[in-house]
Amino acid sequence: MSLDHRLSAEHEELRKTVEAFAHDVVAPSIGEFWENHQFPYEIIREMGRMGLFGLPYSEEYGGMGGDFLALCLAIEELARVDSSVAVTLEAGVSLGSMPIYLYGTEEQKRTWLPDLCSGAALGAFGLTEPGGGSDAGGTLTTARLDEETNEWVINGTKCFITNSGTDITSLVTVTAVTGRKPDGRPLISSIIVPSGTPGFTVGAPYSKVGWNASDTRELSFSDCRVPAANLLGEQGRGYAQFLRILDEGRVAISALATGLAQGCVDESVAYAKTREAFGKPIGANQAIQFKLADMDMRAYTARTAWRDAAARMAHGEPFKKQASMAKLYSCEVAVTNAREATQVHGGYGFMNEYPVARMWRDSKILEIGEGTSEVQRMLIARELGLEA
């Protein structure tokens, strides 16, 4: 397969449009939202009007008829300015609406996707549990089918769930144990739970290190009842479903991490040109030049990695290893670039009024969410044929 990742005219036009939106609309106001731990509803509504939440979906469901590459390009450009806004889009599509698009019935798609594609509503994916973390197969949340009422009765707790408690969240797809295999292993299924369902409680927003302008909550289910028809895909296939969802999501997270890494370069280059010390701009010092050159090189390599994974996915080729490598590399690059950008800014880099301080605090979660760096190394090793 060719590694020529030059963008088509349509993709480049989209990239430039989102780039302008990020700098003209997001950048001037997001700092205040971030400082006050507020969700930027008007920014998200504008992103919806631009069609960003419907980029990879067909027009029959309210989408833009684009592809996954288009979504990732938008995510990267947003993350160059702010990760909270970028992850709201990434999670809203990759985790919120994509499971319904891939595995939903025709009725489920027509019920939920139009509002999700328009940005009028957000969806969330309830996978992680307080005692689970990387061991997603150890799900403790249960769902029992009440045959008399033909309803699923759900009990359990989910944690760290993005987009799950906003005023426009319409649903959360949760994984739950719905039975046991003959060998005793759990049968995990995915079930759509509409917001406001009795027995479904959304916790208060977490106090987080970063991503302060995004919504992250704990969810609890106590005899929460939803119709049997809310089962997403086949019963017992929830584990396989979320494995595929996470494979694709890693490419999107890699794009987000690349955007943050590039944003650190953008901010540091601009600062180095204007900040003077000892009678000259600090960017004239070779030590700073080398630091910025390395930062730009890392961002470029990360971009090449996620675009390669996206191209393989688009061509129907195996991409699991490439997605894990892109996710692993770009997220570690983001942390490194954020640290270096803070260093370039000196004392100002420690002040939250400067974007690099926000980027520094936003970067660490990238090595944890949607598969830790350790998990990515395990997956790569398995793709190399090494035993688990």
Whether the Cβ atoms of residue 229 and residue 281 lie closer than 8 Å to each other: no
Query: How many angstroms separate the Cα of 318 from the Cα of each of 95, 117, 247, 383, 385?
Result: 21, 27, 11, 11, 15
Whether the Cβ atoms of residue 173 and residue 193 lie closer than 8 Å to each other: yes
Question: Which residues are identified as catalytic?
Answer: 370
Which spans in 91-237 are helix H?
98-103, 106-118
Structure tokens at 37: 């731990």
- Distance between CA atoms of residues 51 and 53, nearest Å: 6
Query: How many angstroms separate the Cα of 290 from the Cα of each of 265, 284, 340?
Result: 12, 11, 11
- Distance between CA atoms of residues 300 and 297, nearest Å: 5
Instruction: Give me the residue label for tokens 């309803």.
Output: 151
Residues in the chain: 388
- Distance between CA atoms of residues 331 and 21, nearest Å: 24
Query: What is the 8-class DSSP label of residue 223?
Result: E
Structure tokens at 344: 């370039």
Structure tokens at 148: 């008399």
